[in-house]
Structure 1
Amino acid sequence: MSEAPRTYDVIVLGAGPCGENLAERTSDAGLTTVVVESELLGGECSFWACEPSKALLRPMTARAEARRVPALSEAVSGPLDVAVALAHRDKLANYWQDDDQVDWLNSVSVDLVRGFGRLDGPRQVTVQTAEGETVRLAARHAVAVCTGTDAALPDLPGLSDARPWTSRNATSSREVPERLAVIGGGVVAVEMAAAWQALGSQVTMLVRGTSGLLPRMEPFAGEMVADGLREAGVDIRLDTSASRVTRTGREVHIELADGGNLTADEILVAIGRAPRTGDIGMETVGLKPGDWLAVDDTFQVPAVADGWLYAAGDVNHRALMTHQSKYQARIAGAIIGVRAAGRRLDDARWGAHASTADSAAVPQVVFTDPEVASVGMTVREAERAGRRFEMVDYDIGHVAGAVQYADGYRGKARLLVDLDRGNVLGATFVGAGVAELLFSATVAITSEVPVERLWHAVPAFPTISEVWLRLLETRRAGVVRRFEGTSG
């Protein structure tokens, strides 16, 4: 006779930032909660993505900025200290140990089961531990899938045998490859190309199609990042794709679709992400293994009866960024707590609960040189949505704060203003130090602040944030491009 399952109010599959935040919220609501994790608590962000990647990038961006400061440029003319840079990366990844995360989980009264968790029918989860034991869990109220994503790999002949790098290898490698080939032109591709070029690799980027780098952002963002990468020595090959990959010893040989060839020491594939749902028991609840988990604005999975299954974070494909997954986790955890207590979601004590920030105002930073910071709609997206809007551009290098920041500052700002509502639709900033401009833009979009009110949000002088004032002045002067759209 099998052992009876351990019963909790809430079971969370996955202990990345999303799973941890969701579990904390349900525990705060008085619900017994258990987290299931087969790897390190803290997940991709802490150990193989956000933290180590930014640790690799910061020396590069700091050196690039210092080289543009008079009286400092000569002092930073040499190469980076690779050993120190990698040691710093290891420190910020906590040496790939999760003891601190375990202590935190205990402090918020959440249980942990280490092992690979799978759905096993309604409200049931089975966990296979590393010791070969089977742990059965049951949920009274909810199971939340927060398993995140893996790097997507193309069906490219020879690729699997060539032992390609994914984002995990790119952020954790202990050696600098002499030659690094990068397949892709998105955020991971450009950030890792920048980091490893600065650390001493000769990087070649193979970018399929002619749309350029960062194709989901404003075109000028990708163009300016490409310029920065080329100045650093990166070989960017647009409209170029691989047709076959072969590893011979320590070398990777790449056959190109145009008949050319490329030899590298490592090949990084950075073409996107795939959901970690292939082996988590999706079929036991009527879902297709390997699919994204479609959710409503409360993060319930409508395709599963009785409303007990939730999915938050990257696995639902709404906004694949750590800060957005944590936002979703807070919303989902609060909603589970409210529903478990039998309250309505519009209960005055709790406020209305629904996700909005992962669709209308998703902020993103690309930590290259120059940086890119964007939130809200791009021109392309606003046109597709049929919105009536004005586009205002401004050269950030003309702002006094930028002149103080660096000699020969290069940057650009774009603001989209909704003509019907009079508020900001989207904002994109490119240039050194622009990441810190992003929260103000996010607040403006989320709060639907009328543009006329922004005149009364006075930026300090001389700071780069003064670009807000210059954008408003440019718009008042009528130096805009108007899109009439099809709204109404």
Structure 2
Amino acid sequence: MTDEGTTAPTASTPQDDQLTYDVVVVGAGAVGENVADRAGRTGLSVVVVEQELVGGECSYWACMPSKAMLRPGAVLAAARAVPGAAEAVSGTIDTTALLARRSAFTSHWDDASQVSWLDGAGIALVRGAARLTGPRVLEVTSDDGSVVTLTARHAVVLATGSEPVIPDIDGLVRSAPWTSREATSVEDVPASLAVLGGGVVGVEMATAFADLGTHVTLIVRGDRVLNGFEPFVSEAVVGSLREIGVDVRLETQVVEAHREDGGVHLRLSTGSVLVAEQVLVATGRRPATADLGLETVGLTAGSTITVDDSLAVKGVADGWLFAAGDVTGRVATTHQGKYQARVVGDVIAARFGTADAPEPADGPQVPGSERPAAAAESAAGAWSRYRATADHAAVPQVVFSRPEAASVGLTESAAHDAGLTVRTVEYALGSVAGAAVSADGYEGTAQIVIDTERGVIVGATFVGPEIAEMLHAATIAVVGEVPIERLWHAVPAYPTMSEVWLRLLETAGL
């Protein structure tokens, strides 16, 4: 539905210098693709703008390549923990094969298949850097300097993700450190690597490169890694990192860096000097909003974009500007960004979609719309598909460290901070038959946080080998606010690790 006489540009059609669509999505990563897909389902014309590769950070430099790099080490560790399989395992990881499989998952950094998907879905693509010039109007500058002006009839969605932050350490920038991009696209594995930061990227990449035979030093400013998890997660992960040869240095900072003789020299707060062939900075990310022209619509360039639960940007009149994913500063995971994308796409479709979109006879109103929403909210109005309420109470996260760490909802500390009256119940996963069968000497922990006033689980944490797939059951319990008495009737199969749910409930006194 472009203006009469114009043609929606695709990868193979020429671009006019002025184009109009119903919806303009800035950023063609996983979040932007999902926004475009959901928003276009009721007849709206949609264009996405992407400066780099269609598919974004997750597909090429984050989720997919990093997990492909981590999987061989996890498989080897699992096999070595089972007599009968352990005897069949010899040698070490084949670096060439691992990196080849990694590159296959990134399509060798070629986005042709992603572009083809856009074409098949009827979503137009304009390549270049987009910048707002006023309400509903953007200029897109391509690599060759040509400029296309895009106008949105109804909505603009900003989904440009985030970018790594290099801390202000003397000489660090000049030493040409890696960020997660260089780490996950590595071709020549360094003999030694210093990793700065104990978050998800730091822990996962320390694990991956240790598996590849690199001597890894993990430098963490605080007293534990994975600070957003329960403290027992850090204890387990740090212990395992050290077992696989990672030199973990807690409560340590880099105060100066310089590169010489093929290595980077790091002066540490402890007074010692560490020399590594390469340095990976994994100390945090910031919203990629510096060059979006936010100031032209009354927002601050480079800032987090504050949104309400419908993902509409606060402080912008007329409800035309939305944002989703890392730029909102709410939750920096791909799956939660895609969840937000589905919400905002549905909001836009319900508010601005064509008359032949499905419309139930009744139901709550989408803000700014005279049309009923396509699904009724719960009695409390908390779980409408048009509200990203899971951002506040039910965020799942998995770290593919060894052991894996997974959590959803609130930690015990966060629950207390929220004013809830809670008790925690913990159980050793190694005491569950399913875990004992899966690996000799299995070690892991499961914990739930129970809101004692309502009798529901508000948080769950797991740490142990191969526990990632256990998380969704906990997520359903938290999102569904399932009374723990009712969970007693959810019988886990035997012998599986999920039997820990029975043990947790027994420990809780049920």
Common fold, TM-score beyond 0.5? yes
Match of 1:385? 418
Q: Deviations over 1:360-417 (max 9, x none)?
A: 1111111011011110100110111111111000000000000110000000000111
Q: Is residue 2:340 matched to residue 1:338?
A: no
Report the Cα distance in structure 2 between the residues aligned to 1:290 and 1:74, rounded to whole angstroms: 55
Q: How does 1:251-266 map to 2 (within 5 A)?
A: 251-266=263-278
Q: Distance in 1 between matches of 2:474 and 2:222?
A: 31
Give 2:208's aligned residue.
195
Q: How far did 1:4 drift?
A: 6.7
Partners of 1:67 and 1:77 within 8 A in 2 = no
Q: Structure 1: how far apart are the matches of 2:375 and 2:85?
A: 53
Q: How does 1:111-260 map to 2 (within 5 A)?
A: 111-210=124-223, 212-260=224-272
2:39 partner letter? T
Q: Deviations over 1:314-364 (max 9, x none)?
A: 110111100001110000011011111499328253444211112211111
- Matches of 2:58 and 2:200, distance apart in 1: 15
Correspondence list, 1:19-418, <5 A: 19-210=32-223, 212-341=224-353, 344-345=365-366, 347=372, 349-351=374-376, 352=384, 353-418=386-451
In 2, the alpha carbon distance for the partners of 1:294 and 1:453 equals 38
| Aligned residue type for 1:390 | R
Cα distance in 2 between the residues matched to 1:100 and 1:460: 40
CA distance in 2, matches of 1:322, 1:19: 11
1:127, 1:135 within 8 Å by CA — same for their partners in 2? yes
**Alpha-carbon distance, 1:206 to partner:** 0.7
Separation in 2, partners of 1:124, 1:156:
39
Matching residue's letter, 1:366: V
Name the Cα RMSD after superposition.
1.3
For residue 437 of structure 2, what is the amino acid of its counterpart?
Q
Instruction: Please tell me whether the aligned partners of residues 218 and 378 of structure 1 are also in contact (alpha carbons under 8 angstroms).
Output: yes
Aligned equivalents of 1:249, 1:382: Cα separation in 2: 50
Q: CA deviation at 1:26?
A: 1.1
SS in 2 for 1:459: coil
In structure 2, what residue type is equivalent to 1:347?
A: P
CA apart distance, 1:76? 2.2
Deviation at 1:250, TM superposition (A): 1.9
1:459 maps to which residue?
492
Of 155-164 and 52-61, deviating more is 155-164
Query: With structure 1 as the length reference, what TM-score do the two structures score?
Result: 0.95
Q: Which moved more, 1:71-80 or 1:250-259?
A: 71-80
The ranges of structure 1 where at least 4 consecutive aligned residues each deviate by more than 6 angstroms after the TM superposition are none
With over 3 angstroms needed to count, the CA separation of the structure-2 counterparts of 1:95 and 1:111, relative to structure 1, is: same
| 3-state DSSP of counterpart to 1:66 | helix
Secondary structure of the 2:491 match is coil
TM-score (norm 2): 0.91
| Corresponding residue of 1:429 | 462
- Structure-2 change in CA distance of 1:245 and 1:17 (3 Å): same
Residue aligned with 2:330, SS: coil
For 1:349 and 1:320, locate their aligned partners in 2 and report how far apart those are by CA, in whole Å.
28
Structure 1 residue 439 corresponds to structure 2 residue 472:
yes
Find the aligned partners of 1:39 and 1:26 in 2 and give their Cα distance. 22
**Alignment-mate amino acid for residue 271 of structure 1:** T
Per the alignment, in what secondary structure is the counterpart of residue 359 of structure 1?
helix
CA contact (8 A) 1:144 1:309 kept: yes
Identity among equivalent positions (%) equals: 52
Name the residue aligned to 1:485: none
AA of the residue aligned to 2:75: A
Query: Which shifted more, 73-82 or 88-97?
Result: 73-82
Q: How many residues align?
A: 474
Q: C-alpha separation between the residues in 1 aligned to 2:181 and 2:316?
A: 33
- Kindly provide the amino acid, as one letter, of the partner of residue 442 in structure 1: T
Q: Contact 1:319–1:359 (CA<8 Å) still a contact in 2?
A: no
Give the match for residue 9 of structure 2: none
Which deviations, in whole Å up to 9, do the C-alpha atoms of 1:441-460 show, x marking residues without a partner? 00000011100011111111
Confirm or deny: 8 A CA contact 2:350 2:374 kept in the other structure.
no
Structure 1: which 5+ runs fail to align?
Answer: 478-488
Task: Give the aligned residue type for 1:448.
Answer: E
5+ long unaligned stretches in structure 2: 1-15, 360-364, 377-383
Distance 1:350 1:99 in 2: 36
Secondary structure of 2:393 counterpart: coil
Return the letter of the residue paired with 1:349.
A
**Aligned residues of 1:29 and 1:334 also touching (Cα < 8 A):** no
Q: Which amino acid aligns with 1:335?
A: V
What is the one-letter code of the residue matched to 2:421?
Answer: R
Question: In the alignment, does 2:27 pair up with 1:14?
Answer: yes
How many Å separate the matches in 1 of 2:122 and 2:261?
50
SS in 2 for 1:407: coil
Task: Rate the CA distance shift 1:249–1:13 in 2: closer, same or farther, 3 A.
Answer: farther
Shift of 1:283: 1.3
